[in-house]
Structure 1
């Protein structure tokens, strides 16, 4: 997922086009509807979330999404959104579009969420469980249609991909579909773990080479379920890192030591170090994990679905990464 830049649309513009949407089947946000249910899929449905409450009067037929993780959730649930942000599609998304033969309306997210375009799409609900800028965007989005937002006051990162999928399923009247999708993904990882018992108990370090730093992505508290669901564990040194302190310099790459090391280079030549530069570094070469050949490199397009997991991206990423992990633990 690519984080959406800060918005530039004005509140005045938002108010002008919202007035034209009074005929939508789902009502805007309300905290006065005492008849709304909190039971999954029972409408009117009241979703309590980090910004208050959204009341959805009827099962939504027209759903807008504001991030590509939410696009993944919608597609996984069998929904064709009425509009989505036109980031460059990942391979897993392209496959879904091609398999289903669908073409969707989109907007350019370069300047943030296009509120007017979303309003013109007349959604019954807006799926935004992964809305990175909801603290700024929520009020304008909720004036268009009920927002299915992340539900924890602790913030966006407190929800797992399965939590997001489940919340979306409840609010969209697709609880059974959400449960089936979640179970399918869990089963895929369970099968991969069972087929590779050598993963069990091995420590793993996962790093991504960003333009400004080597990022220790598998710190304690991060969502490393992609690896732990396969049986891996984190090394003790993972506790030294946090979301706000995850950077490594070239001089302390020794902290990447683990039973298995996986690195992604999604920025290529724009990264702090290229693959050739890092692999030719004497300190990196001195790591025991590198000497053992327990070091693997994931494809440039895999870092995103690992960092921003979704029910659509995870199975695809598993297919790409599993051979790397097998080689590293052979």
Structure 2
């Protein structure tokens, strides 16, 4: 993360934010029939395929069981159900089909798997969909994309909920979800007034350096929603969602009250043993909070299920 969490540590830092849809080689994608994934009908009699990362969480929060889910990570790296621990209770015993790799583009193979699920609608809000992929998806079924004017992978969670709720004719439920999700943040702030305005940074170690998430990324926005402030000197260039910090510049992190470190495939344990990092004032003064890998995954896809789950994890570290 969150934010997709991909096959390399470099991609993990980019999380879900800068991947673009790859070129397609597809000449007509037929609707699946007998090969369609077996599942409970969604939204009444409608079959809804969720191919944006984390979009399935919002559908589940709206009471809709997708017939297809696009997991955020590689096959074998994420739960076989296709959803994170924040969504398992909503998924229940349902077993939707899964399609991996949508975060890196909509290839012919991916489109065939989507078509095989025989959807009536496709949700691709948290996804990078170019013109060619848009046409290919719409040839399979009417497709809902990110709201106009928003950037790939940087859709505000409120807009994501609104867009998906409108697509499945659950506008009122969507508004209620937004209010409930915002209340999660508001309750945290109210219960931790001492944290309001405290300087904080959220980072992920990888490849012998640290990636810091700015307020342009969901993870940076997340800690701001909890009441923290990201120092301007850590933000980097305007429009960047993260910036690399090399070991010789680790001291830049000393000027925070809280340093949240997200794990990725054991990278946090490696960082704990790094002598340069260990000597930092922020470490010696006990200002570091270590967060498990799934917290980063959740934060990379802010939605009505990941947000309350991740807020609870943060509350446990304060």
TMscore range, shorter length: 0.7 to 0.9
Residues 128 and 153 in structure 2, CA contact (< 8 A), matched pair in contact too: no
Mapped partners of 1:6, 1:154: distance in 2: 16
Matches within 5 A, 1:8-19: 10-12=25-27, 15-17=28-30
CA shift digits 1:125-180 (9 cap, x unpaired): 21110113445521200111111101234522442111111111122210111111
Residues 55 and 126 in structure 2, CA contact (< 8 A), matched pair in contact too: yes
Structure with the bigger RCO (C-alpha within 8 Å, sep 6+) is: 2
TM-score normalised to structure 1 length: 0.75
Matches within 5 A, 1:22-41: none
Taking a change above 3 Å as real, the CA distance of residues 294 and 122 of structure 1, as seen in their structure-2 partners, is same
Residues 209 and 267 in structure 1, CA contact (< 8 A), matched pair in contact too: no
Mapped partners of 2:44, 2:164: distance in 1: 12
Match of 1:313 among 294, 306, 309: 306
RMSD: 2.8
Residues 86 and 305 in structure 2, CA contact (< 8 A), matched pair in contact too: yes
Mapped partners of 2:203, 2:155: distance in 1: 22
2:89 aligned with 1:95, yes or no?
A: yes
Residues 206 and 216 in structure 1, CA contact (< 8 A), matched pair in contact too: yes
SS of residue matched to 1:151: coil
- The equivalent of 2:67 in structure 1 is 82
CA shift digits 1:218-267 (9 cap, x unpaired): x2433323211221111121232553761111121112221111111212
- The equivalent of 1:199 in structure 2 is 195
CA shift digits 1:53-93 (9 cap, x unpaired): xxxxx998221111331111111111111222355232113
2:266 aligned with 1:251, yes or no?
A: no
Residues 210 and 265 in structure 1, CA contact (< 8 A), matched pair in contact too: no
Residues 215 and 241 in structure 2, CA contact (< 8 A), matched pair in contact too: no
Decide which structure has the larger Cα Rg and report it.
1
Aligned residues between the structures? 278
- The equivalent of 1:156 in structure 2 is 152
Mapped partners of 1:236, 1:85: distance in 2: 35
SS of residue matched to 1:91: coil
Residues 59 and 173 in structure 1, CA contact (< 8 A), matched pair in contact too: no
CA shift digits 1:157-213 (9 cap, x unpaired): 442111111111122210111111111111111111111111101010110113464
